[in-house]
Amino acid sequence: MAEKHGPHASEKGKQDEQIVRNVIIPRRHPGRWIALVVLGLLGIEIGRSLLQNPNFHWDVFLQYLFAPTVIAGVGWTLFLTVTAMALAIICAGALILMRESDNPILRTTAWLWIWFFRGTPLYTQLLFWGLFAVLFPRLSISVPFGPEIFGVPTNWIITASVAAILGLGLNESAYLAEIFRAGFKSISPGQTEAAQAIGMSRGRIWWRILLPQAMRTIIPPTGNETIGMLKGTSLVLAVPFTLDLMFATNAIANRIYLPVPMLMVAGFWYLVVTSVLMIGQYYLERHFGKGQDVTGGRHV
């Protein structure tokens, strides 16, 4: 430390004792206290006006918060979100590989896919998937321009939930593909070159070198998309799919003529699920930030 500069540089042990540490007085933050008081009062006042307001029907809210169709609705909404997101991630992974490949046919196909699914409204796509069985009554494998080998009625396969998942997932894949592309683009070309220089194959470079680094930039917007998807599931009534949270709470609201408490029930559960997803995102970000994000404590 400062040992070379002291007058008794040779007496090292004594030196340490002679260092007089600066007495640091932290800055005062009166503004924080004022803000706390103001916001606290505001919060109490808003809370009171909400809780004591009879128009909110908190008794009804509590009565239906854990109603069986509501809980089942949470389950279905979560199921739709997870499966549609999984489908979207798989498709987007394939799309990004196609878009960055040397093969011009694959590149064009991926471009067209993204163009179409991003360019038409989700609601329209869901309606289309709902009508799929009407448009194509029979799904079959056949010789091109020839006889059918094997076939089944479409509505055996494209049920309401499958239609909902396909509609949500394929639409989402187009957005995710662009997010993934941005993630891969953010990596310096030197990373690929360094991996090529040790003779790694293209596939391994993608999987072991580029993907883990791209994940850092991919995760936050993908978390956004997942939360958007959670709430986007309320659109599946276009299919029509009638078991999700929004439909369940709406159905009760229409029956009891009290929309407000049922909207609060739906809002409550969407918040709960979003919070759980955010915890998951935190751990994913921490995992993929290894070696790159600053991990140490903040300097004061």
Positions in the binding site for other proteins (CB under 8 A)? 188, 190-191, 193-202, 204, 208-209, 212-213, 288, 290-292
Closest separation in Å from C-beta 210 to other proteins: 10
187 vs 258, beta carbon nearer other proteins: 187
Return d(Cα 161, Cα 59) in angstroms, integer. Answer: 33
- Asked if 235 contacts 126 with a C-beta cutoff of 8 angstroms, the reply is yes
100 vs 178, beta carbon nearer other proteins: 100
6 vs 289, beta carbon nearer other proteins: 289
**Cα 300 to Cα 22, 24, 32, 75, distances in angstroms:** 14, 11, 18, 45
HSE-CB of 113 using CA atoms within 13 angstroms: 24
Closest separation in Å from C-beta 295 to other proteins: 9
Closest separation in Å from C-beta 105 to other proteins: 18
Closest separation in Å from C-beta 36 to other proteins: 37
Take residue 208 and report the two structure tokens written for it. Answer: 């072991």
Closest separation in Å from C-beta 226 to other proteins: 23
Q: What are phi and psi of 10, to 5 degrees?
A: -75, -30
Return d(Cα 60, Cα 259) in angstroms, integer. Answer: 10
Return d(Cα 293, Cα 214) in angstroms, integer. Answer: 13
In the chain, what is the straight-line distance between the N-terminal and C-terminal CA atoms, in Å?
Answer: 20
26 vs 291, beta carbon nearer other proteins: 291
116 vs 207, beta carbon nearer other proteins: 207
